[in-house]
Every structure is written in structure tokens, then in C-alpha cells.
């Protein structure tokens, strides 16, 4: 299987990466790299070749900063490089922008390209800059750019929503790893949350800054049973600020962080407990389906059975040829029991089962695979060589629940011999 592209020159650091990385970052990255469902996209990424180097565009549209122009900024860069054992040269650019932000990208010649907006450089002090610089360097050290090309396929019909959700969840997990590197560089939790507070709130005037540790308490509001995450949360590239602050708070209480600061005898959370609590924090933004191991195979089989019966009984009777068509779709095995169960249900009961199956399959299957399910079910309608209006309406309803357009149903019904050849 084709593997993700790496930067032409690997960035070397003496940082203990195994100790710093968030477990969710490492585990989900391994899943994405080894996913059979994503292998086709990796092959397309490999075939496309390396992305263009951003340096030329940055030289055209940004101001390149030097130690002579921004000595304090470069003092911060030097400090962070020393903390992380990083020797790669860093090219720094400033872009005029009223929003506070920073970006980083590896270059083909082994340089690190770091971009700051003017608003960020204007409002952060040296310690806060070290936190942001460390965060960005963390992305480079942990090679978080290697999986970024997958983002180009996030809206592809061939990509199942659940795989897109995993990709976005990994992006959020990668931010937590980078936050830990930022904390190492500024070496002060209050400074790190001050930087995050300025970035998230837009405030910078000192009169608004009191006990910023109170920001960690906002997380408890997101834990309440009355708080419901929206579907858009699943496709966010960054964790919400209260979650990031809470996750970083847990890390700064860990034995790992204390040991790295030379406080090995100071106690603290065990790594296992810290990672468990951090996982529960970021899990608030994840759909339940991400914690399930199933690929949707069982739900697909059940949908074909119940959906097949729904189509077959649309004209209030089920023929022998329609039963054989269902068996051809899902195999005989134990399917007879499921067919009998589906037939014994009322229309409303069967509809409730199908609604639950549709809800799961919309997430677990790509649009192309959901279309194939509907195409397969047209074989049931064609089993007696005649399409009844009720059967067509049943197929429309099944397709709608899978977010498949009714036009596709009409097209599939126009090729009756295509589904089971």
C-alpha cells in the first residue's frame, strides 16, 4: 500500500517524542496509515508528486524577518530550538493580518518555514511567543504534515464520513501533542494559557487579565449532560479552547512533564491516568461511532434484509422470486430467520429498524457504497419483472435515508440487470 509523502528532508530533534505525544495522536495516526479504505487515496497522493514549495510564494507576499529586524523574536526561536534539540534552520515570515495566527511548513531543503501574522507578533510577549513557536515546531517534529494531504479528499464521494471523522479527530489530537511541546518551550503553564487565552478571546489589554487559571473551569460546562455537541464539531480541525486548556492542565500535572523539568520526585499524575483523562476530554468532540470497531458490515447486511423486505412488501405481498432475490443479495445462511422477523413486523416497526440502520450507514459508508446498496435493492423490485409504484416509493424512502438522490433510484431501476450480474 502506498504510504504518505514525507518532507524530502526529515527534521531531527532530540526531544523524547514517545514521552510527549498524546496517545490518541499516535494510535489514530497508525489507524489512518494502515487503513485499507484510505489506501486508494494514498496512491493518488503518491502519484501526484510532492506539493509545491511555499517559499517562493512567501517571498512574494510576506515580509521575511531576520535577527536584525526582529532580534527578540529570534531569541525566542533560539531558545525553543535549544529546548527541543532542533538544529534545522528556520525561515521566518510575517503577513499583515488582523487575526492572530501562526503557521509552519517543512521546506524541501530541510529548512522550516514559520509564518506569523502581524497581529500575533504585536500582542504576544516573549514567553507567549515561545509557547506558540514551540507549538508550531511540535507539528514539524512529529511530522503532522504527513497526513495533511488526505484533507483534499474530505468531501470525496468515495470517502466514508466515518473515515473523514477519524481524520478530523486526528487533526484535533495532533494539536494537543503540539500544545505539549509549546508548554515545554515556555516552561510555564500560566504563560501557555495566557497565549491560548489571547488567541481564543482576541483580548490583549492587561486590564482584562486576572487569574487565567479560571479558564480551566470552563471545561466543566462542556461536561454537563445538557450540553450537546453538533455534527459540525466532528469536522473541526482544532479542539475548542476550553478543551485544549484542560488537556494541557492535565499534562502539566503529569509525572512526565515534571520529570522533564527536573522535578522527578514531585509526584503527579501517572502517564496512564493523565492520558485517560485527556482522552475523555477530547472525546466530547467525537461522534460515538469513532469508538466502535465495526466497519458497518453487520448493518449493511441487515439493511439489505430489512430494506429488501420493505421493497418486496410494498405491494402488500412478497413473492417467491422476491425472497430468492433477497437471499442472493445477502446469502442464505441465517438470513431466513431475519427475513421472517422482518416480515412479522408492522410497517412502522420495520421502519424504525431501518431508520436506525440508515443513521449508522450514513456515517460508516461512502456515498458510492450507499448508492450500491440502493442499486442492489432494485433487484428486489425487478424480481417479478414489473416495477410497482409502491416499490418505487419504498426505494425513494430507503434512498432518502441514506442521503442518496431519488434520481439515482430512477437511473438504477432503468438497468434492472445490473445489480446482481
pLDDT at residue 215, rounded to an integer? 65
Residue 351, number of CB atoms within 10 A of its CB: 15
- 37 DSSP 8-state letter: T
pLDDT, one tens digit per residue, over 373-386 is 888 888 888 877 78
Is the fold of 17-42+52-291 the same as that of 297-413?
Answer: no
Q: What is the pLDDT of residue 281?
A: 87
pTM here is 0.73
Instruction: Give the pLDDT confidence score for residue 2 in this predicted structure.
Output: 44
pLDDT at site 129: 98
Distance CA 159, CA 164 (A): 7
Grid cell 514567553 in the structure block, residue: 127
Query: pLDDT value at position 285?
Result: 81
88's grid cell? 534545522
CATH of 297-413, one of 1.10.260, 1.10.3680, 1.20.140, 3.30.1360: 1.10.3680
CATH C-level class of 17-42+52-291: alpha beta
Using left for φ > 0, alpha for ψ between -120 and 50, and beta otherwise, residue 408 falls in alpha
CB 421 within 8 A of CB 329: no
Residue 257 grid cell: 512533564
pLDDT digits (tens, 9 = 90+) for 57-93: 899 999 999 999 999 999 999 999 999 999 999 999 9
User: Which pLDDT belongs to residue 334?
Assistant: 52
Lay out the sheet containing 102-106: strands in order across. 63-65, 90-95, 112-117, 102-106
pLDDT of residue 275: 95
| Domain boundary assignment for the chain | 17-42+52-291, 297-413
294/36 Cα distance (integer angstroms): 14
Give the closest residue to 64 by CA, choosing from 95, 106, 89.
Answer: 95
Q: How far is CA 22 from CA 85, 242, 247, in A?
A: 20, 17, 10
Rounded-to-integer distance, Cα 399 and Cα 408, Å: 9
pLDDT at 242: 86
For position 119, what pLDDT does the model report? 95
Run means of pLDDT, 10 residues per run, the chain, 421 residues = 44 90 94 84 83 85 96 98 95 95 85 95 96 97 89 78 84 96 96 90 74 65 53 75 91 92 78 92 74 68 88 83 78 66 86 91 82 84 82 92 89 59 35
Q: In 3-state terms, what secondary structure has residue 272?
A: helix
Q: What is the pLDDT of residue 176?
A: 97
Amino acid at each position: 500500500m502506498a504510504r504518505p509523502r514525507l518532507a524530502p528532508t526529515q527534521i531531527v530533534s532530540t526531544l523524547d517524542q514517545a514521552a510527549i505525544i498524546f496517545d490518541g495522536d499516535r494510535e489514530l495516526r497508525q489507524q489512518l496509515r494502515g487503513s485499507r479504505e484510505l489506501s486508494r487515496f494514498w496512491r493518488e497522493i503518491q502519484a501526484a508528486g510532492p506539493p509545491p514549495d511555499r517559499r517562493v510564494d512567501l517571498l512574494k507576499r510576506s515580509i521575511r524577518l531576520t535577527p536584525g529586524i526582529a532580534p527578540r523574536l529570534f531569541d525566542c526561536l533560539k531558545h525553543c530550538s535549544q529546548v527541543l534539540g532542533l538544529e534545522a534552520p528556520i525561515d521566518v515570515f510575517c503577513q499583515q493580518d488582523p487575526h492572530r495566527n501562526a503557521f509552519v511548513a517543512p521546506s524541501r531543503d530541510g529548512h522550516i518555514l514559520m509564518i506569523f501574522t502581524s497581529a500575533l507578533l504585536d500582542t504576544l510577549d516573549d514567553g507567549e511567543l515561545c509557547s506558540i513557536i514551540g507549538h508550531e515546531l511540535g507539528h514539524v517534529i512529529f511530522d503532522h504534515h504527513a497526513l495533511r494531504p488526505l484533507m483534499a479528499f474530505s468531501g470525496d464521494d468515495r470517502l466514508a464520513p466515518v473515515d473523514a471523522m477519524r481524520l478530523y479527530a486526528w487533526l484535533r489530537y495532533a494539536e494537543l501533542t503540539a500544545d505539549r511541546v509549546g508548554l515545554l518551550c515556555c516552561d510555564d503553564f500560566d504563560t501557555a494559557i495566557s497565549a491560548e487565552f489571547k488567541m481564543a478571546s482576541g483580548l490583549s489589554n492587561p486590564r482584562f487579565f486576572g487569574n487565567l487559571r479560571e479558564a480551566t473551569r470552563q471545561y466543566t460546562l462542556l461536561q454537563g449532560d445538557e450540553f450537546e455537541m453538533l455534527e459540525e464539531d466532528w469536522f473541526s480541525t482544532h479542539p475548542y479552547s476550553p478543551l485544549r486548556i484542560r488537556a494541557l492542565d492535565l499534562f502539566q500535572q503529569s509525572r512526565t512533564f515534571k520529570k522533564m523539568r527536573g522535578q522527578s520526585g514531585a509526584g503527579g499524575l501517572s502517564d496512564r491516568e493523565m492520558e485517560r483523562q485527556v482522552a475523555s476530554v477530547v472525546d466530547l468532540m467525537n461522534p460515538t461511532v469513532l469508538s466502535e470497531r465495526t466497519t458497518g458490515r453487520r448493518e449493511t447486511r441487515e439493511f439489505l434484509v430489512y430494506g429488501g423486505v420493505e421493497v418486496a412488501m410494498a405491494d402488500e405481498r412478497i413473492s417467491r422470486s422476491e425472497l430468492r432475490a433477497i437471499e442472493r443479495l445477502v446469502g442464505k445462511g441465517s438470513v431466513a430467520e431475519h427475513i421472517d422477523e422482518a416480515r412479522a413486523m408492522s410497517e412502522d416497526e420495520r421502519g424504525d429498524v431501518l431508520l436506525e440502520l440508515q443513521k449508522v450507514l450514513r456515517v460508516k459508508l461512502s456515498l458510492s457504497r450507499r448508492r450500491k446498496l440502493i442499486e442492489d435493492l432494485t433487484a428486489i423490485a425487478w424480481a417479478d419483472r414489473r416495477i410497482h409504484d409502491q416499490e418505487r416509493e419504498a426505494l425513494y424512502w430507503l434512498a432518502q435515508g441514506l442521503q442518496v438522490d431519488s434520481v439515482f433510484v430512477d437511473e438504477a431501476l432503468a438497468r434492472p440487470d445490473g445489480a446482481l450480474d
